[in-house]
Amino acid sequence: MQIDLLYKPSHTLARVVLQPGEGVRAESGAMVGMSPSLALSTDGPMAGGGFFKKLKRAVLSGETFFTNTFTATRAPGEVLLAPPLCGDMCVHDVRPGERLVIQGSNYVASPDTIDVDTQFQGFRRFFSGQSLFFLTAAGRGQVLLNGFGAIEALDIGEPYPDGRGRLIDTAELVLDTGHLVALTEGLDYEVTTVKSGLIASYFSGEGFVLRVRGRGRVYVQTRNREAFGREVGSALPAKQQ
């Protein structure tokens, strides 16, 4: 499987090239176009680990209940994928023994060699305005991620093996929770306040943040979906009764 990212970073489109026998599973609604030679199947409740695992992923993380699998059977083909909002996309190569922790809305696609599940993050994430759950990706293969705005890869503690990240010369990074795309599991993280005390943190305009410590890779997006939604919503005319 080969993934080419086009029109970066504002309106990125992923071109996934599949050879015979290869397939990619994508979020429902992510397809822009596909070769007629590809076989398309919609994975129902029993796909991806069974009914309850699929239901847990959909209800708890915000991921769609149904996913689409595009498979090249007798001839090569390609599928074009894109997220619903404008922004960037990136590919993370999951290595054996590694798990990638992902904000649910930032996951786009991966092959069947990647197992996607959910992971509870603690009740503080509820007060941060984010989901209580992350997605986790494990196995071996490429995971396609999207970001609202541009995506930057930050390496904490040491350079990540692919050499594509920017090294942060510190053992800790403080992120606004709405700007996280994904991080490698070797990093420790917690949701906390940016200032001492909830009231002081609230009036600072920052509220809850994610403190990341250790060694690994963090993907961040330059725009916050929830903040953007509030800005746009406040500018809309009031609904007439």
- Comparison of pLDDT for 107 and 126, the residue scoring more: 107
Average pLDDT, the chain: 82
Q: Per mean pLDDT, which range of 64-68, 115-119, 167-171, 194-198 is the poorest? A: 194-198
pLDDT digits (tens, 9 = 90+) for 36-51: 999 999 875 434 444 4
Task: Name the 3-class secondary structure at 236.
Answer: coil
Task: Tell me the whole-structure pTM to 2 decimals.
Answer: 0.82
The two three-digit tokens of residue 199, written as one number: 């009231």
Residue 240, pLDDT > 70, answer no
Q: Closest by alpha carbon to 103, among 134, 145, 149?
A: 134
Confidence band, pLDDT 50/70/90 cuts, at residue 132: low
Q: Closest by alpha carbon to 102, among 220, 235, 222?
A: 220
- Token match 């083909």: residue? 77
Query: What is the C-alpha separation between 81 and 103, in angstroms, rounded?
Result: 18
What is the per-residue pLDDT for 50?
Answer: 46
Residues 6+ apart with CB under 8 A from 238: none
Section 20-43 average pLDDT: 94
Confidence band, pLDDT 50/70/90 cuts, at residue 111: very high
Section 2-22 average pLDDT: 97
Q: Which of 32-46, 55-69, 214-228 has the highest mean pLDDT?
A: 214-228
**What domains appear along the chain, each with residue ranges and CATH number?**
2-235 (3.60.160.10)
Residue 16, pLDDT > 80, answer yes
Query: What is the C-alpha separation between 82 and 73, in angstroms, rounded?
Result: 23
Section 101-122 average pLDDT: 86
- Comparison of pLDDT for 196 and 185, the residue scoring more: 185
Task: Name the 3-class secondary structure at 228.
Answer: helix
